[in-house]
Amino acid sequence: MFTQNILYSQCFVSIATIWEIAIKISLGKLDLNGGFDDIARPLQRYEIELLPISFEHVQKLLKLDFHHRDPFDRIIISQGLVEKLSIITKDENFCKYNVRIIWNK
């Protein structure tokens, strides 16, 4: 008999990422070919969940050193630490925190 363990990796996108994209679009700093509404399509297709910002995430944020000053990145770092999630980023400042990084350049 052959038994196979299949590991299922759940993927999340922080609501902070979606929020930052919306702000950059409204400021004219980001242009999406399909528009903002098209962001939802790949999230649904690949079963990527939005990760809300919780009170615990903000509590962790208050304790972070200021290696990174970007408020969106800081909350994403906090979420990664609290939820024990790996973060996909090329931002070298993330490495200054004790958060798991999947991709860095």
In one-letter notation, the amino acid at residue 12 is F
Structure tokens of 11? 């993927």
* pLDDT 10s digits, 71-88: 999 999 999 999 999 999
Contact of 63 with 77, CB cutoff 8 Å: no
* pLDDT 10s digits, 13-47: 999 999 999 999 999 999 988 889 999 999 999 99
Per-residue confidence (pLDDT) for residue 29, from 0 to 100: 95
Contact of 92 with 72, CB cutoff 8 Å: no
Q: How many residues does the chain have?
A: 105
* pLDDT 10s digits, 59-69: 999 999 999 89
Taking the domain 12-103, which CATH number applies? 3.40.50.1010
How many CA atoms does the CB half-sphere of 103 hold within 13 Å? Answer: 4
How do the domains of the chain map onto residue ranges? 12-103
3-state SS class at 46: coil
